[in-house]
Amino acid sequence: MRVTLGDRPLHDQELIVGPGAPGWDGTAVLGGRRAAGAALVVDPEWDSAEPRHRPTTTTSADAALLPLDGPAVLLTALAHDALTLRRRLDSLLTGLDRGC
């Protein structure tokens, strides 16, 4: 996934999974979980927002909200199933709405 805003890069990520991917069998990849997901949120208003209104980093063992260099945040989560994954990503999005 590569995202730009105008001619400015915001995010560039590649995810390779499965038996042919290097390191795929290691526990560091998903830590025994079977579902991984991400959402990228871009809001050009964050460029001009005061620092207290910009998203801040949030992490747990299974989810992370990571501000990017630009008006964007990357939300990522791991879970044992798709429903739990969806709930974790939704929780990060809800927190993002309250924090800004």
pTM for this model (two decimals) = 0.76
- In the DSSP assignment, the letter for residue 20 is T
Mean pLDDT of the 72-90 span: 92
Mean pLDDT of the 32-47 span: 84
Give me the pLDDT at residue 77, please.
92
* Higher pLDDT pick, 74 / 97: 74
Instruction: Name the pLDDT band for 80 (thresholds 50, 70, 90).
Output: very high
Question: Residue ranges of the domains in the chain?
Answer: 2-99
Per-residue pLDDT reduced to its tens digit, 61-75: 888 888 888 888 899
